[in-house]
Amino acid sequence: MQKIRCKAVCVFSHQQSILLSKDTDPSNGTTFYGPLGGGIEFGETSQDAIAREIQEEIGAEISDIKLLGVLENLFWYGGAQCHEVVFVYDAKFVDLSFYEKASIIGQESNGSEITATWQNLDDFPVKGKLVPEGLFELLTMQPNH
């Protein structure tokens, strides 16, 4: 049975850049970029989920968590149709050294490695696809970008 997945992601806006990880669809080799985050657990708010996900993935504590918008994303990945509702947040790292790192290495819940890098929003969509669908438009409508 297919389900709609509820997710929370965070862009960490900093000096015209956002924090993104790069991934590839195994079924067709398409490369895309997306913010860190993950699934919202039952009984958990999306704001609590993003704080937990960032702690689990890269070991970082965050503050000043602000909801930018909610996107509904229908897409294909790995040859399967997917459907998700994504709460898009911006936040600040408590440990300011995260802003100095060229890349931030972390780990997904399934054990796979994540590498996140600071990317200038102006490089998209030329640089590649930004996901979830509608994220670029949401971010370019924000007053900070």
Q: Are 10 and 36 in contact (CB under 8 A)?
A: yes
> Domains of the chain, with CATH numbers?
5-140 (3.90.79.10)
Whether omega for the bond prior to residue 132 falls within 30 degrees of 0, making it cis, is yes
Q: Are 113 and 34 in contact (CB under 8 A)?
A: no
> Would you say residue 145 has pLDDT above 90?
no
Q: Are 83 and 6 in contact (CB under 8 A)?
A: no
Looking at residue 144, what is its pLDDT? 55
> Would you say residue 143 has pLDDT above 80?
no
Looking at residue 9, what is its pLDDT? 98
Label each residue of 80-144 as H, E or C: EEEEEEEEEEEEEECCHHHHHCCEEEEECCCCCEEEEEEEEHHHCCCCCEECCCCHHHHHHCCCC
Looking at residue 1, what is its pLDDT? 63
pLDDT tens for each residue of 92-106: 999 999 999 999 999
pLDDT tens for each residue of 52-83: 999 999 999 999 999 999 999 999 988 999 99
Paired residues of 89 in beta bridges: 10, 67
111-127: average pLDDT: 91
Looking at residue 128, what is its pLDDT? 84
> Would you say residue 111 has pLDDT above 80?
yes
pLDDT tens for each residue of 10-50: 999 999 899 999 999 899 988 999 999 999 999 999 999 99
d(CA 33, CA 50): 18
d(CA 111, CA 120): 28
Strands 31-34 and 129-130: parallel
- C-alpha distances out from residue 48 to 54, 62, 103, Å: 10, 11, 25
